[in-house]
Structure 1
Amino acid sequence: MSLLEIRNLTLEIARTDLAIVKNVSLSVEPGEIVAIVGESGSGKTQVARAVMALNHRAIRRRAGQSLFRGQDIFALPDREKRAIRGSQIGMVFQEPMTSLNPSLTIGRQLLEGLELHRKLTQQERLAKVAEMLRRVGIQDVDHAMRAYPHEFSGGMRQRIMLASVMLLEPALLIADEPTTALDAVIQRDVMELMVELTRSANTAVLLISHDLPMVARYADRILVMRSGEIVEEGAASDILARPQHEYTRKLLAALSWRGPARAVDMQQTPVIAVEGLVVDYGGQQRLFSRSQSKRALKGIDISVQPNEIVAVVGGSGSGKTTLGNVIAGLVPATSGRLLYDGKPVLPGASGYADWRANSQMVFQDPYSSLDPRMKIEALVGEALRHEKRINRQQKRERVAAMLTEVGLGEQFLDRFPHELSGGQRQRVAIARALICNPRFLIADEPVSALDVTVRAQVLDLFAALQKRYGFSCLFISHDLGVVEQVADRVIVMQHGEIVEQGSRDDVFDRPQHAYTRKLLSAIPALAPTAGGGIEMRWRQAAG
């Protein structure tokens, strides 16, 4: 008998009767890792939540069973469902900052499950929590127990989520996008930790993800979902090497590939350059003391040539985004200088307005960077507010033309951001940045929140617009696969310093620094196969 068996599950939106999961059946054996992959909106998360009958009340079950150890979860009384949740089936949610209670200490949250489901003394509970925190890589247990979620990085919060779930040694772990928005090294560390913890307890895993290379590395079986249906399933190696369904081949084709290197004239005057850039963040004032200041950037020197795309990569907290914000004028520098066309950029000096007009930024999350109260026409047209020679109708026509350039169209002019998908909002953000035809663009993690096919569309759009307009770009990303696709030159940062830089091919094929090798060891080199699949080769081990 399978540990988990979902039979003919159909879920629909109660208000409209629209089916969002259609006749889905799957099984998971003890100790097995089964992955469900697909685009956003394919129904992956709804299937995962249905395992424990955790779907929102607006989602109605039309048909189907969720059998855990032979018991239909849907048929159980609420009290028995609660006894199974956490104790026998654990779930790691996509965003740990929203699933951890911000008002409770980490210790309080970790102890809660043991108090509800295990008959232990307080001393035994504290000992188990301390042991689990050490297993997930947190050595200062006393500090962690007293700390709150916001005091940890994204990777550490995800480790804490894993610890809270695995404390109860569940028979089944459901992991819903457990590594989204984490950099390559932390992503690998979290996955390795999850596999280690589950295998030591013989825990089965139902893994929800759109990251096919990551899934291929850890899953035994893969199920591919599209529009609420499973369109293909099989062994992970077979699915990747010999996909049978057209949609699976489409997902694999959307992965990032390295194209031929472009020729960039390095003898010209750089569009922008920073010299000796230092940024210090002051410590926080406490009741009787002040915490220590932090040096986020430590003497950074970089330049970007005309028509060049320079990628800045590194782990969380390496200073990538701070560098982009300083260049954009959003964060003041402690020392150092910024040059535009070889001339210093100084507020109030001649040329400063020209620099501000020619330097634009695309932010990581378009939903938070686009004002929800403004329509798309106003959001994109806002960049034209300093152009006095165009009237309102000309401005509207120019915005409509720019929206068409980014693959949308004038039908989007009167919509609000919430009426657009994530990929469409990112296209609006790109249109807003490019409508003034700037010479320099800062793209801060522009595709990190998008699924694989939408990401491919946005990257293709970005490449086409860069070729057409010829702007230079500082491309900030933790996704080395994306960087390999778009960059001419790569800068590797660690702890606020540049540890390596060079052409894309030199950095990816002949890395010199140990940290660069560590980053590259976390991602595969991909090559297409004759059958429309992919072949993965894991890069050199970290040195």
Structure 2
Amino acid sequence: MNQPLVEVDGLSLRVSLAGQSIVRDVSFRIGAGEIVGIVGESGSGKTMVARSLMGLQPPAIAVSGGDIRFEGRSLRSLSARELRALRGARLGMVFQEPMTSLNPSMTIGRQLEEPLRLHTRLNAAARRGRILDILRRVGIHDPEGALTAFPHQFSGGMRQRIMLASAMLLRPSLLIADEPTTALDALVQREVLELMLEMVRGESTALLMISHDLPMVARYCDRIIVMRQGEIVEQGPVEEIISRPKHAYTRELLHSMPVRGPARAIAPTLEPVVEVRGLAVEYRVNAGLLARKAVKKALHGVDLAVRPGEIVALVGASGSGKTTLGRCIAGLVPASAGRILFGGEEIKPGSAAWRNYRLNCQMIFQDPFGSLDPRMKIADLVGEALRHERETTAAGKAERVRAILDEVGLDGRYLDRYPHELSGGQRQRVAIARAVIGRPRFVIADEAVSALDVTVRAKVLELIADLQRRYGFSCLFISHDLGVVEQLADRVVVMRDGAIVEEGSRDAVFDAPRSAYTRALLSAIPTLIRTETGVSLNWRFAAEAGAPAAALQ
């Protein structure tokens, strides 16, 4: 590599007050136009390293050693004003959650115009022209209308496109993407990634991508940096790292990827635990100040059955109705039409059968931090699920709480802790314990592992499968991660625009999908196949997907 664009030499970071070291002696190079991925589990320091390149680490985090050079110039020697001049103009960043990065009180047009006013001398008409051009390039179909719209009026994928447009507006030399596709479904994820690569290659922009999505990093990056506990344990070309990893931790990461196990035998003649017939959900949306409220259909007469002991995966793109269906079955969203049957008996809100159903139908939410009361201790959060068991004594409930926490891998030390004192994986374990402690017959898991890193996700999936075998509950598993679905599900149901377009056994859907939409979903994201020494990159239905030739080698 000739003169590197970015040089990080011996970078060390620590917490200013506590003196705790969080990043130690990190060194790497990025050349102009190069795409480098940083992978590692939560807490490995990868995001802190990326933010340090922008000078955006939290105030409590100080650089305790090393240097960062951009185009041969030390960033540590720059004043705050000089660093601000670089951000946006030469250094761009796409953050993990666009909804928290975009100002909810400002229109998209104003937010995109701001960096142009700060860093260029373009007049208003020229600024507007460049903004409209970049919005078209990122796939916003109505760029004129987007200028006057607010962030909440766009889907997650569209907001991420707008963030990319904002970062690329000034054609930076280095773009940093921090988990840019974590919350996106397979189709939107591929569209955003392909768009990002097209734009950075067109401008010869270097890209530093931080992610726990190993297949995505292996597909799109030139080199990979593996971090663990604040240190780089291995780095090198993609092909070398994934096919012949040298470090034990890298091998552990690669082997934590979901793999398909043997299919389980679920008797098709068993009466369903939960069944829905003709389920429909409608929302009334405001069509304008003087117009009548319009009706939007989120579900169109859905029929679905889950048999005893079965894990049914619900997949589909964002906005397909997966979560709405799960919440409607759980009684959290009212149905406009249709019936819900539990054990063959129709249940209606307010009836005695409905109360029994709600006790036997529990939900694991996507964000455990948002679903757990921050004011309650873990023992109280888990024990709250037993409040309806009046025949059980307080001592008996406390013992059951200890037992279930032990089963999910959390010992007695966690009883008196609060949710903010736990990691993301530990909070998800608490959410699972809370859902299954009452021995329900049916559990709905809504994107229960989407926000977890590779190794933690593998452990939580093993936990869910183990508890399901032990207690025999049926499960509706909602996910956009097809690798996870392939590992866990007995049957797969594919949704699109509020309707089911295909369903069948896991092997039938993954190996011989009948719907073109299902094939598009399965072919959108690459998979990693285990080999004797590491893994190899693979595409499903690559010919139909039109995957780049480099991805098939």
Normalised by the size of structure 2, how large is the TM-score? Answer: 0.97
- Does the aligned pair in 2 maintain the 1:5–1:26 contact within 8 Å? yes
Match for residue 25 of structure 1 among 24, 27, 32 = 27
Question: What residue number does 1:421 align with?
Answer: 423
Question: What residue number does 1:52 align with?
Answer: 54
The worse-fitting range, judged by mean Cα deviation, of 99-108 and 521-530 is 521-530
Question: What residue number does 1:319 align with?
Answer: 321
CA distance in 1, matches of 2:79, 2:384: 55
* Structure 1 position 119 matched with structure 2 position 121: yes
Question: What residue number does 1:288 align with?
Answer: 290
* Structure 1 position 61 matched with structure 2 position 63: yes
Report deviation, 1:289.
Answer: 2.6
Aligned length: 542
Q: Residues 42-61 of structure 1: CA distance to partner in whole angstroms, max 9, x if unpaired?
A: 11011111112221110111
Match for residue 257 of structure 1 among 256, 259, 266 = 259
Question: What residue number does 1:383 align with?
Answer: 385
* Structure 1 position 443 matched with structure 2 position 445: yes
CA distance in 2, matches of 1:504, 1:113: 48
Question: What residue number does 1:466 align with?
Answer: 468
Aligned pairs for 1:404-419 within 5 A: 404-419=406-421
Question: Aligned partner of 1:234: which letter?
Answer: G
Ranges in structure 1 where 5+ consecutive residues have no aligned partner:
none
CA distance in 1, matches of 2:375, 2:302: 38
CA distance in 2, matches of 1:170, 1:210: 24
CA distance in 2, matches of 1:290, 1:146: 22
- Does the aligned pair in 2 maintain the 1:314–1:478 contact within 8 Å? yes
Question: What residue number does 2:304 align with?
Answer: 302
- Does the aligned pair in 1 maintain the 2:224–2:237 contact within 8 Å? yes
Give SS of 1:20's match: strand
Q: Percent identity?
A: 61
- Does the aligned pair in 1 maintain the 2:219–2:537 contact within 8 Å? no
CA distance in 1, matches of 2:140, 2:55: 33
Question: What residue number does 1:355 align with?
Answer: 357
- Does the aligned pair in 2 maintain the 1:37–1:222 contact within 8 Å? yes
CA distance in 1, matches of 2:443, 2:414: 24
Question: Aligned partner of 1:20: which letter?
Answer: I
Match for residue 339 of structure 2 among 332, 337, 344 = 337
CA distance in 1, matches of 2:232, 2:352: 61
Give SS of 2:258's match: coil
The worse-fitting range, judged by mean Cα deviation, of 346-355 and 145-154 is 346-355
Question: Aligned partner of 2:483: which letter?
Answer: G
The worse-fitting range, judged by mean Cα deviation, of 322-331 and 115-124 is 115-124
Report deviation, 1:526.
Answer: 2.9
- Structure 1 residues 285, 525: closer, same or farther in 2, change over 3 A? closer
The worse-fitting range, judged by mean Cα deviation, of 234-243 and 286-295 is 286-295
- Does the aligned pair in 2 maintain the 1:363–1:446 contact within 8 Å? yes
Match for residue 157 of structure 1 among 153, 156, 159 = 159
- Does the aligned pair in 2 maintain the 1:490–1:504 contact within 8 Å? yes
Question: Aligned partner of 2:119: which letter?
Answer: H
Q: Residues 348-369 of structure 1: CA distance to partner in whole angstroms, max 9, x if unpaired?
A: 4342222121111111111010
Give SS of 1:258's match: coil
Question: What residue number does 2:187 align with?
Answer: 185
Aligned CA-pair RMSD:
1.1
Give SS of 1:457's match: helix
Question: Aligned partner of 1:468: which letter?
Answer: R
The worse-fitting range, judged by mean Cα deviation, of 423-432 and 346-355 is 346-355
CA distance in 1, matches of 2:150, 2:354: 42
Question: Aligned partner of 2:512: which letter?
Answer: R
- Does the aligned pair in 2 maintain the 1:89–1:173 contact within 8 Å? yes
Question: What residue number does 1:397 align with?
Answer: 399
Report deviation, 1:80.
Answer: 1.4
Give SS of 2:208's match: strand
- Structure 1 residue runs of 4+, over 4 Å off? none
Question: Aligned partner of 1:534: which letter?
Answer: V
Question: Aligned partner of 1:438: which letter?
Answer: P
- Structure 1 residues 228, 350: closer, same or farther in 2, change over 3 A? closer
CA distance in 1, matches of 2:358, 2:152: 34
Question: Aligned partner of 2:239: which letter?
Answer: S
CA distance in 2, matches of 1:290, 1:203: 48
- Does the aligned pair in 2 maintain the 1:481–1:523 contact within 8 Å? no
Report deviation, 1:64.
Answer: 1.1
Question: Aligned partner of 2:285: which letter?
Answer: G
Report deviation, 1:285.
Answer: 7.3
Question: Aligned partner of 2:234: which letter?
Answer: E
Report deviation, 1:167.
Answer: 1.0
Question: What residue number does 2:196 align with?
Answer: 194
